[in-house]
Structure 1
Amino acid sequence: MADAPGVLLAGGGTAGHVNPLLAVADELRRRHPHGRIAVLGTAEGLESRLVPEHGYDLHVVPRVPLPRRPTPDWLRLPGRLRAAVRAAHDAIDAVDAHVVVGFGGYVATPAYLAARRRGIPVVVQEQNARAGLANRLGARWAAAVAVTFEGTALPGAQVTGLPLRTAVQDLLAARAVDAAATRREGAAALGLDPELPTLLVTGGSLGAVSVNRAVSGAAADLLATGAQVLHLTGRGKADEVRAALEGVPGAERYHVVEYLTAMDRALAVADVVVGRAGAGTVCELAALGIPAVYVPLPFGNGEQRLNAAGVVAAGGGVLVDDADLTPAWVRAHVPVLLGSGDAAQTRARMGAAAAAVGVRDAAARV
């Protein structure tokens, strides 16, 4: 469709913004293979690598943080913002955009302002239960507002769920065809036993020291269930975890990896997850029907606790404060989710509850 309207998608900085952006871009490309789709992002963020890898043009905009309180950066803000809005105007012209879709973050604000000046409709997609500054601004005049979670306080919000990464969509499709084979393939790629209950531990790409110490400190009890553990520690954080495993019976079933690019392989074999409660993590695990112990970040504006609230209320997960996550807490609460018998029934019940609130077609909804 050579005459298809152009679409400019704006977002970047972190995986939380970039992954749903790319999921929507892929859905648009699937529906309109000849449409004009481009991305507005920064030269420093994750999008600078991922957007070109996905085959989309990246138009660079200067990074403009919005200070939350008076600082010397306030004095530099007007000039920075003007330059960023000009760059957004240029991107709109380059793609002949008929709509701007923003995903929040530093990039979204100049895109929203440029679109408003041009009279171009704006669609806002908010990932977290508590909206960020950019999306609170854009939602004021947006033609449509898509939110991931019920209760997100934005005007005109429609709950769509979070657009899932293509790798997770592919995993869902593969499991629908042959779940056992998909699990075996994931286990083989990671050197795991597909027959054993598997605990996946992750604190995100940077890792989480509190999660690492609490889980590795309870390794003996976890392994005593007969389960195996795949612990993603974060870069530079593996040695402390390995040291905690010295002399622990069954430690050969406790697999320590700093970072895993192909997370879909880990998700293919995971029966229970211990990790943070970022929107992407919560929504992917719910869509896949994987029960989890959610440990919200102990700082920020509290959005991670809100992100996990729905799936926890449904019975698909457990919430524990970072300060309360100790080896003793893990020993008391996690082994009962591993092993066979009653533990397997508990996992199945929690997994079904998570899947019941999970959204698998959010990209199409947006």
Structure 2
Amino acid sequence: MPVSVVVAGGGTAGHIEPTLAVADAVRRLVPDARVTALGTEKGLDTTLIPARGYPLELIPPVPLPRKPTVELLRLPGKVRRAVGRVRQVLREVDADVVVGFGGFVALPAYLGARGRVPIVVHEANARPGLANRIGARFAARVATATPDTGLPRAELVGIPLRESITSLDRAALRAKARAEFGLPDEGPVLLVFGGSQGARTLNTAIAQALPGLIDAGIAVLHAYGKTGTPAPATPGYVPLPYIDDMPLAYAAADAVLGRAGAMTVAEVSAVGLPAMYVPLPIGNGEQALNARPVVAKGGGILVPDAECDGDRVLAELVPILTDPQRLAAMGAAARASGHADAAERMARIVLEVAGA
């Protein structure tokens, strides 16, 4: 029988993309492998997972409250229902291994598989979430994207990325990418993005900095978010609510201004772009920790959200974007800090645990 792999990493793109990258890598290594995804009706699961050609089995969502609330009292019942559904799926697909990436789906997947199917855990953030902290206790293997997460028996692997990122030839696509976005053929380009909803701090800072950037000969490609506001129209400034083809945007750019989510840092580093990272100032501070390894190697700079304004953008990025040698050195450092082979390494761990 072909090896049967069940992946659990739904909810947000930050969980789904590494999940699907590992699924793709498993199929590249073992073409007849059966890969089944667990997900919920919430988030992007029903949109992104079927579009990549993987069967999606829905389970009841189990959102984990950060603070004691009435939802915490309802949690045991929700967990039981979700775990029961997970076990049903594992029997139906005759699962050989369950791979979890955190998020709403991971905790029921770990509890449903415990004692029945071996588990592999992948943690993308520097500070693990509750689901992965629990799953790591009884997992066969634990992989992380950054060192010093505190998870037991952790192996540093990096964040699995889609092949369109790891194989991206920015130089070869540069002319096409700039033409597609309506950017100048020559001169440096700054790519600005803050996630699907944009980022108010970045949008405000880029509006303040735009005249100075344009005066310095720097064009700007700005994904301001579906609910955000672009800067005033200016020649050399290309605002979009959302960028569907991020590899093409990376090919058009010379540097990035963005948040420091785990996937953002991993992708920007993998394609060799210097970046000014502005961590989102919420949660447990993991965004700043995500960016520290690449910053420590010289591939980026870290600026607190409260200090990110137009003057800081100009002070940090204009010297980089107008110095080709510094730009190239930082790009090389960024690429060297990444883990472009993480998807294949994770796939080999998964297949080994499955006995394939």
Normalised TM-score (structure 1): 0.92
1:158 and 2:155 correspond:
yes
Which residue of the other structure, out of 287, 291, 295, is the alignment partner of 1:308? 291
Aligned position for 2:131: 134
Aligned position for 2:354: none
* Deviation by residue 1:279-338 (Cα, 9 ceiling, x = unmatched): 111011111110000000011110000000000011110000000001121222221122
Aligned residue pair count: 346
Structure 1 stretches (4+) deviating beyond 4 angstroms? none
Aligned position for 1:282: 265
CA RMSD of aligned residues (A): 1.2
Report the 3-state secondary structure (helix = DSSP H, G, I; strand = E; otherwise coil) of the residue aligned with 2:279.
coil
Which residue of the other structure, out of 333, 345, 349, is the alignment partner of 1:365? 345
Given that 1:37 and 1:95 are in contact with CA atoms closer than 8 Å, whether structure 2 keeps it comes out as no
- CA deviation after TM superposition for structure 1 residue 170, in Å: 4.0
C-alpha distance in 2 between matches for 1:224 and 1:16: 36
Aligned position for 1:248: none
1:148 and 2:145 correspond:
yes
Aligned position for 2:180: 189
C-alpha distance in 2 between matches for 1:356 and 1:170: 15
Aligned position for 2:349: none
Aligned position for 2:336: 356
Report the 3-state secondary structure (helix = DSSP H, G, I; strand = E; otherwise coil) of the residue aligned with 2:142.
strand
Report the 3-state secondary structure (helix = DSSP H, G, I; strand = E; otherwise coil) of the residue aligned with 2:64.
coil
Aligned position for 2:191: 200
Which residue of the other structure, out of 65, 73, 76, is the alignment partner of 1:75? 73
* Deviation by residue 1:160-179 (Cα, 9 ceiling, x = unmatched): 110012331342xxx1xxx5
1:157 maps to a residue whose letter is: A
User: What are structure 2's unaligned runs of at least 5 residues?
Assistant: 347-356
Normalised TM-score (structure 2): 0.95
Q: Which has the higher contact order (CA 8 A, sep 6+)?
A: 2
User: What are structure 1's unaligned runs of at least 5 residues?
Assistant: 246-250
Percent of pairs identical after alignment?
Answer: 51
- CA deviation after TM superposition for structure 1 residue 185, in Å: 1.7
C-alpha distance in 2 between matches for 1:35 and 1:350: 39
2:330 maps to a residue whose letter is: M
2:54 maps to a residue whose letter is: Y
1:324 and 2:324 correspond:
no
Moved more, 322-331 or 140-149: 322-331
Report the 3-state secondary structure (helix = DSSP H, G, I; strand = E; otherwise coil) of the residue aligned with 2:48.
helix
Aligned position for 1:224: 215
1:201 maps to a residue whose letter is: V
* Deviation by residue 1:203-260 (Cα, 9 ceiling, x = unmatched): 1110001111111101111111112110110013235x22xx5xxxxx2101111111
Given that 1:225 and 1:338 are in contact with CA atoms closer than 8 Å, whether structure 2 keeps it comes out as no
C-alpha distance in 2 between matches for 1:86 and 1:194: 57
1:261-276 equivalent positions in 2, closer than 5 A: 261-276=244-259
